[in-house]
Amino acid sequence: MESIGIRELRQHASQYVALAKGGQRVAVTERGRLVAYLVPAEESGSGILDRLAASGEYTPPQGSIADLLPIPARPAGRTPLSDVVRAMRDEDER
């Protein structure tokens, strides 16, 4: 991956945009610290996750969140949250 400073990007922006357009990621640094990436516009979020998973920096979730905990019972005598939200919306419409 190409790494450039902000001044270099400013002076030769079209060259680095062409690299990104061609599919290459360009790291942009400021005083030696990474501050941004110039990436192809077509790059999807899943492409980023796939790349992170391949490098071992991300582990995709497995199973369902519903498998983690049982859904807690609503305390006796309490109004369901959906009814509270509905009542609040009705008040806003008045």
In order, the DSSP letters of 14-52 are HHHHHHHHTT--EEEEETTEEEEEE--TT--HHHHHHHH
Inter-residue contact 37 to 25 (CB < 8 Å): yes
pLDDT tens-place values along the chain, 94 residues long: 788 999 999 999 999 999 988 888 899 999 999 999 998 887 555 677 888 888 888 888 888 887 877 877 888 888 888 999 999 999 887 6
Domains observed in the chain: 1-60 (3.40.1620.10)
The count of other CB atoms within 10 Å of the CB of residue 70 is 7
Tell me the one-letter amino acid at 65: I
Is the pTM here over 0.85, yes or no? no
